[in-house]
A and B are shown apart, each in its own frame.
Chain A
Amino acid sequence: MIRFFLLQNRQGKTRLSKWYVPPQSRGTHSVEAEKTRIEAEVHRFVTARDKKYTNFIEYNNYKLIYRRYAGLFFTIAVDVNDNELSYLETIHLFVELLDSYFSNVCELDIVFNFNKVYSILDEFMMAGEIEETSKREILDRVKDMEKME
């Protein structure tokens, strides 16, 4: 299952973070502080990697599956026995969703519409599992809900 989903820019700003399994608090570190620490570490890892490398990083007792789109890094942390390539495409499907919703998404769209991005993510995955893989189904749903606002 997915432990967390991260969207970070090259400078290390977290644009989206969704934790399905919150980290253990360590010593004096609260859960929130631990999340921040891990997010910073993940950023360090993914930005340091060459394009020719795999999209997988073995990290603690789980795996990071990451993909870079322009200046944005999408990272999913999954269990070691999860299917790496399918999560690589999970990232891509999510990017396609954002792309359709914002018509050619850029970082600023995500910054200013962070709540929309969360809504889309909530229709896409839940409880650390993929919920729906039809783009049309997800976007229709998000738009239906918007009409109510």
Chain B
Amino acid sequence: MASQARGLQNFISDLRNAKSKEEETKRVDKELANIRKQFTPKGGKVAEDGSNPALSSYQRKKYVWKLVYIHVLGYDVDFGHAEVMVLVRSNKYSEKHVGYTALSLLLRGDDPMVNTVLSTIRKDLTTPSTSEKKNSAPPDAGQSLALCSIANIIGLELIQALHSEVQQTLVAKSSTPNVKKKAALCLLRLVRTSPKVVAGREFAPQVAQLLQDRHLGVLTSAMSLLYGLASQIPDDYESLIPYVVHILGMLVLKKACAREYLYYRTPSPWLQIKLLKFLQLYPTSLVQTPKNGNGKETAADNAAHITQLTSIVSKILTETDVSDSINKSNADHAVLFEAVNLIVTWGSSGPDHLRDGAMKLLGKFISVREPNIRYLGLLTMAKLAQLEGSAESIKKHQATVLVSLKDADISVRRRALDLLFVMCDTDNAERIVDELVAHLVLADAAIREEMVLKIAILAEKYATDLRWYVDTILKLISISGDHVSDAIWHRVVQIVTNHPQGDLQAYTAATLLVAASPRRCHETAVRVAAYVLGEFGFLIAERPGMSGEEQFRILHQHWATSEYQTRAILTSTYAKLANLYEECRPLVAPVFARCKNSVDVEIQQRAAEYASMREAFSPEAVEDLLREMPPFEDNKQSALEQRLRDKEGDDSAAVVKAARPSAAQRERAAQSKAAARAVEEVQAQAKADDVGPIEDDPVSPMSDGSPGTNRPKDRTQKVGIPREVIPAMRKAFSNLCTSPSGVLFENAVLQVGVKQEYVGAQGRISVFFGNLSKKPLFHFRAIVEDVEHLKVQKQGTQGLLDEDENGGCTVAVRTQAKLLLLVEVTAPFDDAPAMRVVFETEEGELHEYPLRLPVVATCFMEPVTLEPAAFMQRWKSLEGQDRECQEVVKAPANAPTIDEEYMTRISRIVTEGLKFGRCQGCDPTPWTVSGAATFRTGAKDMNGNNINVGCLVRVEANPQAGAFRVTTRTLHPLCSKAVKNVALVSIKLSSSP
């Protein structure tokens, strides 16, 4: 160990003894002044290069080292470059060494000073021996220094000037191993900054040459270079796979490794890892013959490599063990995890036993106490989870992962969160999301934002019932509102707006109104509530305690404590409320009046414009301005996914997962697409029978899925509804919508019959399940799903209503099970309740039929007789917006022509099927049928009266075109839609031969 210059030692000592930062700074400043003085020659005789020629070699080295030290301590050093250059140019190694060290630390690539030493660097790089031979110094000392400093101070000019020299040095026969190592990494550094300096295909054979070097240090560096190059353009280096497999085989299978490269008895783990990382760039290497330029590789060679690689990975997997030495254990597990990563990249093309083995190991790792291994287990399992078919085995570990979610170490918690996110699917979404929400309460600030974002994405992705999604986001707001970004609540608005099906909009409006009711609630909740009530508040305005006026009062209590952005949203909502409800106007007007003087320009402008709108524009224009927003464009990528990507980078397992649409999302997308398509098809007067809108209609006879239930999916293969009975079923369902009894479903095994009668808001529906097969049916169950808009009382044959799948009743041959439903409607709706019929045959075959009960809105209609004038007045008042629904249906080609007799049938559909009162006076020609009815609900308003919805319908025929136009106008959009749907299916049914 060579001794240090005394002056430098003293200086370091002084700084160490400094009692405070100030004292240290003072000492540094003093030293800087001294060095500056030393570098300025007395009498001003500066050498050509700006240095002081009077300095001795010892002094120059000492002062430059001091500068370096000062720089290392974090102080700015902006002089002395000339002296550094003198040292770099020196012929003495000791001076060169200091010079290059200082150069690397003090200069950056874009420093103009670099150019002045360029020729020196080049000379050192290309001249293998220094002039100083007497000390038996390594002949490559100068080369090494030059390479090292190029790697350290990279700049564009330096790359331009030197890359070819570096490349030549790397492959030169005369280069020592030491120079090769440094040249390889130096070239890697150049390639990272400018990928084009190396031409891959021509360079690959030269890398192959390097890979045959016996020196493991050279191999280690060469592999870093190769990995860097190949990650830029993998194809160019695919031909090198055999070399890499060969080296790996030597290390792993033969343990052939020089002693000094054994690290705690493991053959160079660093090299093994680099080799495995390189192989990960070729996910198909196990199934594909590598493209090889020279064609020497035969299929047999390739097969041999695949076998060898498989046995290498297999050996790593099975022979890694925990050892007493933590260093050995770490080194071995480092290699093991890299091998598992390789198995993950192979995916399903890799051998099953390796994948299973990896899964088993990871399952063990995520439950060990050792935190590093557990962390890596969680991390790697999340990668494995992306593979097809791995979901089930990973889900088994859910409980274990949840334990890590509560770990004291945030690094572990993050990984656990990530893995839960990745393993989440439709089956376990509710459980995982609930767990995460529960944990959010306890989670510290560092991880909350990440959790909130992930929960929001999961809830959206896997909601089989979007109401659950809305509830979840509300919970997030109430637990951790500060971390719910605008992007998250904007997404709620988007989704609710884009899903008019079902009662999502009304549900959201009602839920948010309740959420905003307390005096103290998070501002984000106020924002969503304000926006949603502005859009969909009218849907709930008839519910007790939710009138427009009450909506206003609940929102307005937050006004004083809200920020300007929130007030801006509130202002728009007030305008909409005032437009809809007379009684709100006097409440809103003073708010607007005050806001005209608001310091916030946006609010000032909104208030002024809304306040004067009524005078300035026609009522239609005002209506137009305050209309609900149109559906949002369905972006492929939600803003939330973008956020996740920004945070975690493109490669993270979570990002990949988030980008892949879930089954629930696909279904929702398909539904809206189908709805759009159905409208188009009808407009294009498509064939009525085959693919009419009924297929995608919410009143379809088949239940589309399973809102809000978790049923076990995986047990055995289930027999569903055979395709061929679907058209008949659809017809039977349509028929039952307007008739008191009939068959809902029939196949060779089972017949389901329905009898129904309705009085006002109440109905009594009997369902009969007849066994048509020759053997009894076991575990027979009928599951009627609860829906919000119906209060249902159920009675049935013993066991029929069991929830447990081992329960159920037995239906003997030629007998029936019976189900009696007493329903009361409480709110408008436009779909039909789902009923699943599940049973097992004697052979153990599991049948499951998702059906829908024909309990539709029109069942609860009560005919109303209206004078023509009254009808027209109401008709006009309900025009426009979503209170109106219209659709055209064309009769099939073989349908009877539309004549007066046909119109009587239509009239019967309206009066008997839809239960509307015919309004004769409104139909001057035989080609229209108008009717009125009241939709009765059992819900009470504040005065204790039942809430009812007035409904009007009009069917207009165009005999020439053979088409009908159905228009419905009601006080409630869902009613309009429901009546229209039933009318359409009935007309279609009547026209089919």
Contact = CB atoms under 8 A, between A and B. Distances in A.
Nearest to A60: B647
Interface string A85-99: 110111011000000
Contacts of B374: 54
Interface string B630-663: 0000000000000000001101100000000000
Given A81-B651, A83-B337, A137-B260, A88 B101 contact: no
Nearest to B2: A146
Given A86-B334, A89-B269, A133-B261, A56 B1 contact: no
Interface in A15-52: 16-17, 22, 31-32, 35-36, 39, 49-50, 52
Nearest to A116: B1
B1 A55 contact: no
Contact of A89 (B68, B263, B412): B263
B93 A85 contact: no
Contacts of A16: 72
B269 A102 contact: no
A56 B411 contact: yes
A126 B185 contact: yes
A29 B376 CA distance: 35
B371 interface: yes
A84 B376 contact: yes
A122 B260 contact: no
B327 A89 contact: yes
Interface string B305-322: 000000000000000000
B298 interface: no
Contacts of A10: none
Contact of B334 (A83, A113, A119, A135): A83
B376 A126 contact: no
A95 B271 CA distance: 19
Nearest to B271: A133
Interface residues of A, number: 60
Given A53-B409, A93-B263, A134-B217, A85 B137 contact: no
Contacts of A90: 270
Given A36-B74, A147-B136, A137 B334 contact: no
Q: Is the interface of B mostly helix, strand, loop or mixed?
A: helix
A70 interface: no
A86 B408 contact: no
Contacts of A114: 12, 69, 72
Given A86-B334, A89-B330, A130 B65 contact: no
A106 to B, nearest CB: 13
B181 interface: yes
Given A111-B12, A129-B188, A54 B137 contact: no
B889 to A, nearest CB: 57
Interface string B238-263: 00000000000000000000101101
A141 B176 CA distance: 12
Interface string B918-932: 000000000000000
A148 B371 contact: no
Given A113-B4, A115-B101, A127-B186, A80 B649 contact: yes
B273 interface: yes
A99 to B, nearest CB: 13
Interface string B260-295: 110100001111010001000000000000000000
A16 to B, nearest CB: 8
Contacts of B216: 133-134
Interface in A98-136: 101-102, 111-116, 118-119, 122, 126-136
A124 B374 CA distance: 29
A14 B70 CA distance: 12
A57 B16 CA distance: 30
A22 B258 CA distance: 36
Contacts of A92: 327
Contacts of B414: 58
Contact of A83 (B2, B4, B273, B409): B273
Contacts of A35: 74
B185 A53 contact: no
A148 B93 contact: yes
B206 interface: no
Interface string B109-129: 000000000000000000000
Interface centre among A83, A133, A149 (most CB of B within 10 A): A83
Contacts of A145: 93, 97, 137-138, 141
Contacts of A141: 138, 178
Contacts of B273: 83, 86
B890 interface: no
A135 B9 CA distance: 28
Nearest to A51: B371
A4 to B, nearest CB: 13
B371 A86 contact: no
Given A85-B331, A85-B334, A89-B331, A61 B409 contact: no
A67 B23 CA distance: 31
A137 B177 CA distance: 11
Contacts of A86: 269-270, 273, 331, 334
B141 A148 contact: yes
Contacts of A128: 189
Nearest to B181: A131
B94 A115 contact: no
Nearest to B652: A80
Nearest to A53: B409
A14 B334 CA distance: 28
Contact of A112 (B4, B137, B261, B652): B4
B735 interface: no
A29 to B, nearest CB: 13
A107 B270 CA distance: 27
Given A36-B74, A52-B408, A54-B411, A149 B148 contact: no
B74 A32 contact: yes
Contacts of B72: 14, 16-17, 114
B372 A147 contact: no
Interface string B484-499: 0000000000000000
A144 B138 contact: yes
A127 B271 CA distance: 16
A149 B12 contact: no
A147 B135 contact: yes
Given A134-B216, A145-B137, A50 B1 contact: no
Of residues A80, A84, A115, A146, which shows the largest number of chain B Cβ atoms within 10 Å of its Cβ?
A115
B197 to A, nearest CB: 14
Interface in B332-362: 333-334, 337-338
Nearest to B98: A115
Nearest to B76: A32
Contacts of A148: 93-94, 97, 132, 135, 137, 141
Interface in B489-537: none
A7 to B, nearest CB: 11
A61 B647 CA distance: 7
Interface string B47-85: 000000000000000000100110011101000000000
B224 interface: yes
A111 B97 contact: no
Nearest to B182: A126
Contacts of B12: 111-112, 114
B220 interface: yes
25 contacts: A14-B73, A35-B74, A52-B371, A52-B409, A53-B408, A54-B374, A57-B411, A80-B652, A83-B273, A83-B277, A83-B337, A83-B338, A85-B372, A85-B376, A89-B263, A112-B13, A126-B148, A129-B224, A135-B260, A141-B138, A145-B97, A146-B2, A147-B136, A148-B137, A149-B94
Query: 6 nearest interchain CB pairs?
Result: A85-B334, A127-B189, A129-B224, A149-B94, A53-B409, A148-B93
Given A112-B9, A126-B185, A126-B186, 17 more contacts: A14-B74, A32-B76, A35-B74, A36-B74, A50-B409, A52-B409, A53-B409, A54-B374, A55-B372, A86-B269, A114-B12, A126-B151, A129-B185, A131-B221, A144-B137, A145-B93, A148-B135
